[in-house]
Structure formats: structure tokens, C-alpha cells
A and B are shown apart, each in its own frame.
Chain A
Amino acid sequence: MDPLQANRNLELIRTLMERTTQYQLLTARAGLAAGCMAGLGALSFLVLDPRNPWQFGAVWGVVFAGSLTATLIGTVLRGRERGERVWSRPARAVLRALTPSLFAALAMTIFFFARGGEEYLWLPGIWMLCYGQGALATAAYAPRPIRSLGVAALLLGGLTLWLGPAWSVLMMGLVFGLGHIGLGVVLLVAERREGAVRLHRSVA
């Protein structure tokens, strides 16, 4: 066996081990779409009033639903493209890791809206903390950029709570808008690089 073949075998082993443990169906397109939606959501408050709970809830609800839909569509398309199952073992592991923080975010959202007044304006900081915690909970299965975004969301979530409700919309745009766009760009670069060296899926 020559060094080139040995190197190819090492590359194959690394790819197989990573593919078995890592969730790789997250797409750059989904990240970019989620970032754009969050950015537009933040910008919509140039016209809308964040102190109106209906408008605040509706905008971020639409952004969340839209981002979720973009992620689902992106995942299904990527799965088809690669000939991989969407509901795979890593996908189940990622969902299990995300569930507690998603539940916490949902419970806090209901709680703060139910209390009335303008207390819901504290929610962006809490959402960021939950998002960061969820992202880091998937660290064992997720691509590296997700971990970095998780750490950034945790830190900026704390900062958002410290800055107070007046900064909540701007921080939402920054973390979920620019953060996701940044994630999308990093994933796009990684996808292009991977596309250039992709090994044939079948090893049989």
C-alpha cells in the first residue's frame, strides 16, 4: 500500500466515523433563511410596535415557524440529495438534546405572556439563553459552528437581559439574524469544501 492509498483510507475512516456520530443534514440555506427572517422580523419593528404583545408575539412566532419550516425543508432536500435518511440516529439524538431547552423556552414564553404587562419584553434574553443551551447540548453531534453560535447566544442572552427590554429587538436581530447568517456563511464554505473532497457514499 502506498502513502496515497493509506491517506485515502484514513480519510474514509474519518468520514465514516464523523457521519455516524454527527448530524450533517443542517444546511447553509436553512441557516441563511432563518437569519434573513429574524433580520426582517427585527426590522419590522421600525413600523410595528414591540410594546404591543400581539405584534411582538406574531412577528417572532412567524419568524420561529418560518425558520423551523426552512430547516425542515432544507433537511429533507439535503437527505434526498445525499441519499441519507432524515430520521436517522444522529437526528434523533439531536432532537433529544434540544427538547429540554425548547420546552423551557416554550414554558417561559407562555408564563411571561400570561403575566400581562410588558414583562414579555424580557423574553428575547431568555430565548437566547435557551437557544445557546440547546445548541451546546447538541455539541457532541453538531458541526463545530453550532457550538460557537451556542456560546455566543449564551453570552449575548446574558447581555440582553442586562441591557433590558429597550434593547430586546435589536439584540434579536443581532443574535438570531446576523448570528444565523454568519452560521449559514460558515456552513456554505464548509459545504463547498466538502463537495470538493466528498467520498463516494457506498463502500460496499
Chain B
Amino acid sequence: MNTLKRVLADLDTVLHERGRLAIVAVLAAVESLTFTELRDELAMTDGNLSVHLQKLEEKGYVSITKHFVGRRPQTTCRLTPQGRRAFTRYLDLLQAIVHQGRAKAGA
């Protein structure tokens, strides 16, 4: 049980929020996505997505670049190496929790 407590204490609270976890999971599967693609992929509102992205950017997990395609502004989001490491760590922790639960059930 102590091990489980230690694992839970290690959980990244920024990633643990469902919306932010979804953003990072989607960005982990591709090189980059535009703000619009990400919004449509996750069926989030502009405001909700902006808030989550800001939090992820502050933490250094996501990089956001703004540029113009023709005359239209475009925002591109990508996972940083730091974000990818945090995501991998988070997945490892989830798996550890699942394994511990199975082990406990089997005991």
C-alpha cells in the first residue's frame, strides 16, 4: 500500500486533468496540430482549449507557435521533449497502478 501511495504522490497533476491529458495524448501521436484541428479532434470549445494549452505551455509540455498561412493567422501546437517525457512517465505510473491492483486482486 505504501508503494501505491508513493506512486500516487508522483502523479503529474497538470497531466492528470482529463482535458489536458487528452490534449497531450493527441499531440503525442502526431508531429504537430493546428489549434483548429486539435479543437475539432477533442470536441472542445475555443476557450476551454486555450486555457488548457496555456497551462501546458507554462509547464513547458507544449510549444505554441503563431504564424500566417497566406493572410490567415494559424496557431500550431506540438509536444515538447519535456512534455513527451512527462507523458511517458504518466503512462508508466498508470500502468504501475493497474499492475498493483491486479496483484492485489490476485493475492
Contacts and interface: CB of A to CB of B under 8 A. Distances in A.
Interface residues of B, number: 31
Contact of A10 (B16, B26, B49, B98): B98
Contacts, number: 74
A4 B94 CA distance: 10
Contact of B29 (A2, A3, A9, A21): A21
A7 B95 CA distance: 8
A6 B100 CA distance: 11
A6 B37 contact: no
A20 B45 contact: no
A3 B19 contact: no
Contact of A204 (B28, B37, B43): B43
B26 A1 contact: no
A16 B25 contact: yes
Interface centre among B30, B45, B97 (most CB of A within 10 A): B97
Contacts of B30: 20-21, 89
Interface of A: 1-4, 6-7, 9-10, 12-13, 16-21, 83, 85, 89, 201-204
Interface pairs A-B: 4 shortest CB-CB: A3-B101, A6-B97, A204-B44, A203-B22
